[in-house]
């Protein structure tokens, strides 16, 4: 292992604690029992990851549009109508992406900027899709290309994006930056973090179910780091 910490943007956590987070989050039995008892943390695995909507890899049916609900990211009624209105455009973009394409391969080939940018360009300019922000959109799309499309929310942002230039944080706030520019840029930094500690991330992924992607494991660690759990 490179050191005793996993690094995500400008934040880090002890590998042992990150391993606990992964085991805890992906414990299906514990999640179902906690839900049934109505107490304790209830995480979204497998409710999100194995949500059965009956659609194909290039299709987005209404069930797919509601998937962010189990990750506490809406969507609102307004957002559902907005997502339905751009469904054909999103499906066309998905059809251009091989189902086995990984983020790292896309970054190496230099194609991730266009592929990810095209997918989220429906959000530009700001307010173009009422009720839908980047967080909700990528939680719809991640399930269709889980090897390529990172998840995103404010906790992930806190790991990478600061309002003022700060050592270790690769991004700063840029006013009026389009999501089609921001998201591929962020994805590139995520890939760099995964590659920099590939061995450590592989070990962390071994604590999750076998069909769990590295990007899903990454998101759990980034989510916990972004909300400040490393110091608890």
Give the pLDDT band (50/70/90) at residue 3. confident
Peptide bond into 75 cis (omega under 30): yes
Handedness of CA 227, 116, 216, 133 (dihedral sign): positive
| Residue 228 backbone zone (phi > 0: left; psi -120 to 50: alpha; other: beta) | left
pTM attached to this predicted model:
0.96
Q: Looking at beta carbons, which pairs linking 166-175 to residues 24 or more positions away fall under 8 Å?
A: 166/10, 167/10, 168/9, 168/10, 169/9, 169/10, 170/9, 170/10, 171/9
Mean pLDDT calculated for residue range 49-58: 98
Q: How confident is the model at residue 1 (pLDDT cuts 50, 70, 90)?
A: very low
Q: What is the mean pLDDT of the chain?
A: 96
**pLDDT exceeds 60 at position 2:** no
Predicted confidence (pLDDT) per residue in 160-209, tens digit: 999 888 999 999 999 999 999 999 999 999 999 999 999 999 999 999 99
Q: What is the pLDDT of residue 57?
A: 98
Summary count for the chain: helices (H), strands (E)? 12, 4
Check whether 229 has a pLDDT greater than 90.
yes
Predicted local confidence at residue 232, as pLDDT:
66
- Asked if pLDDT for residue 75 goes beyond 50, the answer is yes
């Amino acid at each position: 292992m490179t050191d005793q910490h996993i690094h995500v943007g400008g934040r880090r956590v002890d590998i042992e604690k990150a391993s606990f987070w992964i085991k805890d989050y992906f414990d299906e039995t514990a999640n179902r029992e906690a839900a049934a008892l109505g107490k304790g943390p209830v995480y979204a695995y497998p409710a999100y990851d194995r949500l059965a909507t009956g659609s194909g890899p290039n299709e987005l049916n209404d069930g797919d549009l509601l998937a962010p609900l189990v990750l506490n990211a809406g969507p609102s009624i307004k957002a559902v109508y907005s997502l339905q209105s751009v469904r054909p455009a999103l499906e066309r973009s998905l059809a251009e992406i091989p189902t086995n394409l990984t983020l790292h391969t896309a970054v190496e080939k230099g194609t991730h900027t266009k592929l990810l940018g095209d997918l989220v360009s429906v959000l530009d300019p700001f307010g173009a899709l009422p009720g839908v922000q980047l967080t909700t959109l990528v939680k719809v799309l991640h399930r269709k290309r889980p090897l390529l499309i990172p998840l995103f929310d404010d906790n992930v942002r806190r790991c990478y994006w600061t309002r003022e230039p700060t050592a270790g944080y690769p991004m700063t706030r840029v006013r009026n930056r389009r999501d089609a520019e921001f998201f591929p840029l962020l994805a590139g930094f995520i890939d760099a973090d995964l590659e920099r500690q590939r061995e450590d991330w592989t070990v962390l992924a071994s604590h999750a179910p076998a069909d769990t992607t590295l990007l899903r494991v990454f998101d759990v660690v980034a989510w916990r780091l972004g909300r400040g759990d490393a110091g608890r």
